[in-house]
Amino acid sequence: MTNPQKNASIGLNCQSFNRKKTSFSCGLSNGFRIYNTTPFEKKCKRKFEDFGITQLELLGNSNIMAFVRSTTQKKLTIWDDYQSQEIAELEFETIITALKIFMDKIVVCCSDRIIVYRLTDLESLDRINTYQNPQGLISVTENDEEQLKVIAVPGTKKGEVIIKSYTTNSYTNVFKAFDQQLGQIQLNKNGTMVAVTSIEGTLIRVFDCKTQILLLQFRRGQKKANIYSMAFNEEENLLAVTSNRGSIHFFNIPSDVQEVTRKKKEKGGINYGKYGTKKDRSVLKINLTNTLPNIIAFIENELIVIIKNGWYFKFLVNKKKGIVKQKEKFLFLK
């Protein structure tokens, strides 16, 4: 039997879903590959002789993408895969730790700043200073036109979060989520809630993006953990969380959590909502046979898990029946 903990023969440097979760990309030591998420199938394979890919983001379902080469990690390349050629590039003073690309903008994450550019001419539109962010913590949402809507990143102080909206009624909010350095940040689809963890990984806190109210607190466990990935389901009544403990926890989100808690008053410097004073445990849990870094995404009632050693998992999640059932598991990167 193949060991799912064993690394695939091709070095996988990074992986990411496109905004609609219909496909995911893998940056490799010798190029990249793109796959349809569900049903799973290979869409594209590109091999480079002189460099690998350390960061890679797809523009929707198009042939345009942004990536960072392993040989020049301070340089961003915008690539047209239909023409198999570079169409633009940007160079930075520090290593690029994350990328996000939209129909109107491209967002570049460096060690202590986030820079937003207009995609058409790469003119700098915004700069957000952050706390030291070597992990490239950033979460974004888009509108119906696949344009940047909301961004969530670390603030300039330890444990702070910055929420910035790029809609017509734009706003910028800064609040302290933890006393410790942040471990992960994840917005919901509409950019109205943000889930945040610290580097300890024992608690997950969910805030209202506009009011900064602490909506929910979840207890993942007593022991410290590295949170790899978080995802809200499409109904936004579940939050899935993975970690190096080799487990997936599913936390319940009440349907009235935002409407009710917005009316609550400030307590002790933090705005607590109706549910925010509790530390709820997970309502569902499943163990993976893999403790390596991963990314996750909900597609309807299925959770897709992509492991950094090239394994693909699909789980059926039924909150009403209280079950999580594995549907698929295979090594796609060989």
Q: What pLDDT is recorded for position 259?
A: 74
DSSP states of 50-98: S--EEEEEE-TTSSEEEEEETTEEEEEEEEETTTTEEEEEEE-SS---E
* Residues 165 and 191: beta-carbon distance below 8 Å: yes
Q: What pLDDT is recorded for position 270?
A: 53
Radius of gyration of the chain (CA): 19
Q: What pLDDT is recorded for position 4?
A: 45
Q: What pLDDT is recorded for position 290?
A: 87
Amino acid making up residue 151:
I
CA gap 266, 268 in Å, rounded: 7
CA gap 242, 240 in Å, rounded: 7
Long-range contacts, 198-203 (Cβ 8 Å, 24+): 198/159, 199/226, 200/224, 200/225, 201/225, 201/226, 201/227, 201/243, 203/178, 203/279
Phi, psi of 157 (to 5 degrees): -115, 155
Q: What pLDDT is recorded for position 151?
A: 98
Q: What pLDDT is recorded for position 271?
A: 59
CATH assignment, 177-334: 2.130.10.10
Q: What pLDDT is recorded for position 7?
A: 44
DSSP states of 243-291: ETTSEEEEEE--TTHHHHHTTPPEETTEEB-SSTT--BPPSEEEE-S--
CA gap 295, 287 in Å, rounded: 15
Q: What pLDDT is recorded for position 6?
A: 47
Q: What pLDDT is recorded for position 100?
A: 97
Q: Global pTM?
A: 0.92
pLDDT of 170-201, one tens digit each?
999 999 999 999 999 999 999 999 999 999 99
Peptide bond into 134 cis (omega under 30): no
Q: What pLDDT is recorded for position 260?
A: 67
Structure tokens at 177: 């989520």
User: Per residue of the chain (334 residues), what is the pLDDT tens digit?
Assistant: 344 444 444 689 999 999 899 999 999 999 999 999 989 999 999 999 999 999 999 999 899 999 999 999 999 999 999 999 999 999 999 999 999 999 999 999 999 999 999 999 999 999 999 999 999 999 999 999 999 999 999 999 999 999 999 988 899 999 999 999 999 999 999 999 999 999 999 999 999 998 888 999 999 999 999 999 999 999 999 999 999 999 999 999 998 887 766 665 455 555 566 677 789 999 999 998 889 999 999 999 999 999 999 999 999 999 988 999 999 999 999 8
Structure tokens at 12: 């996988």
Q: Which residues fall within 8 angstroms of residue 168, CB to CB, at 6 or more apart?
A: none
CA gap 315, 250 in Å, rounded: 12
Q: Which residues fall within 8 angstroms of residue 51, CB to CB, at 6 or more apart?
A: 69, 70, 71, 72
Q: What pLDDT is recorded for position 5?
A: 47
* Residues 71 and 85: beta-carbon distance below 8 Å: no
Q: What pLDDT is recorded for position 211?
A: 86
CA gap 64, 58 in Å, rounded: 7
Task: For residue 92, count other CB atoms closer than 10 A to its CB.
Answer: 16
Q: What pLDDT is recorded for position 289?
A: 81
Q: What pLDDT is recorded for position 257?
A: 84
Q: Which residues fall within 8 angstroms of residue 224, CB to CB, at 6 or more apart?
A: 200, 201, 202
Amino acid making up residue 173:
N
